[in-house]
Amino acid sequence: MLKRSEVKKEETWDLSSLFETELLFEEAISNVLTEANKIANLHKGNIQNAQQVVDVLTAYEKLHEQLVLIGAYSSLALSVDQTNEEAQMRSAKVGQKYSKISAQLSFITSELLRLDKTVLTDAKNLAPQFNHYINQLIRKKPYQLHPEAEKALAAFGSTFEAPYELYNTTKLVDLKFDDFEVDGKSYPLSYNLFEGDWELESDTEIRRTAFKAFSRKLRDYQHTTAKTYDIHLKIEKTNADMRGYDSIFDALLFEQEVDRTLYNRQIDLITTELAPHMRRYAKLLQKVHGLEKMTFADLKISLDPTYEPTISIEESRGYMMDGLSIMGKDYTAMLERAFDERWIDFAQNQGKSTGAFCSSPYGVHPYILINWTSRMNEVFVLAHELGHAGHFYLAHQEQNIFNSRPSLYFIEAPSTMNEMLMANYLLANSEDPRFKRWVISTIIARTYYHNFVTHLLEAAYQRKVYEIIDDGGSVNATILSNLKRDVLENFWGDSVEITEGAELTWMRQPHYYMGLYPYTYSAGLTIATQVSGRILNEGQSAVQDWTNVLKAGGTKSPVELAKMAGVDITTDQPLQETIAFIGSLIDQLEQLTQEIENA
């Protein structure tokens, strides 16, 4: 694995759009500290009428925009190399400054919520751009603490983030994998190599040996990782109790603007109704690969590994332009910029965050991190992250910083939508049974398996963890591993052997430090599946509806956003239709496999 200094510049992102030099970054930190002092001196104790509400929010909006850029620069620089001590210290410094500013400005929320609602209503009439912010503030009123308590909690901001930082340090800095050996040949191993290559390896002996070696090293760090997670959970539980929420679930779902009905439906329906379809898929993999038994280590393999093509970064650009062109000229212009202006970090290097993500700081363009393996399925990964980028690219053009970000429940709909659009494009442009089987199997293995199985089973496991915490309990490595194993065994039944090490997958997912996040992948893909069907059948009218949804940002609730796109997520129907659609894809895989074998 290369060091960051050894990778090609053209495969890295360009952070100069945030700050061209370190000196400008330092000046920005100094400026926000000064501006925070000005806001406190000018407005603290002086928010009494509608105009004063507008004045303080206007000042805070400008400050918030600068804070976002500073935070993005710090976190993105660290994400590509967690071993970089300069980046570590920069991130720590920003966290400390943020905590200071948050404590200093906590009075804004407290003083606004002490005002009569008529004053807040007058402020909304005076400055409609703050409608959403004020409405969200009013929602929080029942859970607001005394101003001094809020100030104290804000001051602990960076401390409360410590478990997530410790998790990443353990995972990406301290945890080092030894090479593993198969038939006298040595193979390198790292987090990114395992998740990007060895987990997908077609050679059964290499794949299973890599899984054992990977799991063996994870086990060495299980107790530290479990204690880190337990601390994070206790922080969330304490916050929920202090603020008077009925449960930790209600506290975490509050920001998502959905209730436990939508949350539980997503988990319960999928774990029961999708399981039979996915067990069929596992059996198909076992049959095609001639495996004596199907194990957990075999679930990510390709249905036709000898066919899966490789793809260059430049070739991926062509696929993005063609596959997503249905979204219109403005959208494709954004895609062009993403490649031309180096919005995307493709390189694999030591210390880089695993997986892929998109960060969209307000005021500049989005940034995408990906660990490029040259496998064709990266087309779907890149399309997914560009879905996030396109979402915020449009939302930021239409909305202010307070209005641009939707609920977490909806956040994965635009990303998974792009995966569906890419799949539709690929299928429409080929009649080759083998290629069509590859595309459909990739939709199952990448799009639906990743979002409807991997993340959903994480959500089912996570719900069990939070139930323990909500009852006043604690968790350790043994409890977490047992919970994870139970979830996996219940879903896969006797179709897949849950081999030793599978229970440790709870150690691999950073989403557990982001509240109730994992279930939102399937929620987003449910919406995306329905809307992509509309686009296939209705064309540009459905595309325009979807574009309007993206532009709406966070100005509407998830239920309202889905309704704009023609989907009613308050009922079981969209989810059941999506599960049935997955079943139909597996039907097609079985038919195409038989056709190919009989040819």
* 194-223 average pLDDT score: 94
Fold classification of 4-160 (topology level) = Butyryl-CoA Dehydrogenase, subunit A; domain 3 (1.20.140)
Under DSSP, is residue 554 helix (H, G, I), strand (E, B) or coil?
coil
Tell me what pLDDT residue 173 has.
87
Residue 499, token pair as written in the block: 């081999």
For residue 548, the model assigns a pLDDT of 97
Average pLDDT over residues 38-60: 97
Per-residue confidence (pLDDT) for residue 584, from 0 to 100: 94
**Confidence (pLDDT) at 62:** 97
Q: What is the pLDDT of residues 376-432, one digit of tens each?
A: 888 999 999 999 999 999 999 999 999 999 999 999 999 999 999 999 898 888 888
The pLDDT-based confidence of 309 (bands split at 50, 70, 90) is: confident
Cβ atoms of 508 and 199 within 8 Å: the answer is no
**Which 3 state secondary structure label does DSSP give 221?**
coil
- Hey, where are the domains in the chain? 4-160, 163-175+221-341+375-599
Q: What is the pTM of this model?
A: 0.86
Dump pLDDT digits (tens) for 569-587: 999 999 999 999 999 999 9
| pLDDT confidence of residue 210 | 97
Nearest alpha carbon to residue 72 among 406, 366, 319, 390: 366
| Band (284; pLDDT cuts 50, 70, 90) | very high
The whole-number pLDDT of residue 407 equals 92
Residue 291 CB coordination number (10 Å): 13
Using an 8 Å Cβ cutoff, are 380 and 446 in contact? yes
CA-closest candidate to residue 304, choices 208, 423, 425, 445? 445
CB 478 within 8 A of CB 484: no
Q: 4 is written with which tokens? A: 């960051």
Per-residue pLDDT of 223-260, as tens digits, reads: 999 999 999 999 999 999 999 999 999 999 998 999 99
Q: What is the pLDDT of residue 442?
A: 86
Share of the chain above pLDDT 70, in %: 100
Q: Which superfamily does CATH assign the domain made up of 163-175+221-341+375-599 to?
A: Oligoendopeptidase f, C-terminal domain (1.10.1370.20)
Measure the CA–CA gap between 332 and 323, rounded to whole angstroms.
10
Provide DSSP, 399-455: S-TTTS---GGGTTHHHHHHHHHHHHHHHHT---HHHHHHHHHHIIIIIIIIIIIIH
223 CB-side CA count, 13 A: 1
Task: Report whether pLDDT(308) > 90.
Answer: no
Token pair, residue 593, equals 């496999």
Asked if the model's pLDDT at residue 310 lies above 90, the reply is no
Per-residue pLDDT, 556: 94
Whether the per-residue pLDDT at 44 is higher than 90: the answer is yes
Alpha-carbon distance of 348 to 354, in angstroms, equals: 9
Q: Whole-number mean pLDDT of the chain?
A: 94
Percent of the chain with pLDDT over 90: 82
Would you state the pLDDT for residue 598? Answer: 87
Degrees (nearest 5) of the Cα angle 587, 589, 591? 70
Q: At what angle do helices 329-340 and 378-398 cross, to 10 degrees?
A: 110
Lowest-pLDDT range of 75-89, 150-164, 350-364, 380-394 = 150-164
pLDDT of residue 599: 73
Per-residue pLDDT at 8: 95
Residue 191 has pLDDT above 90, yes or no: no
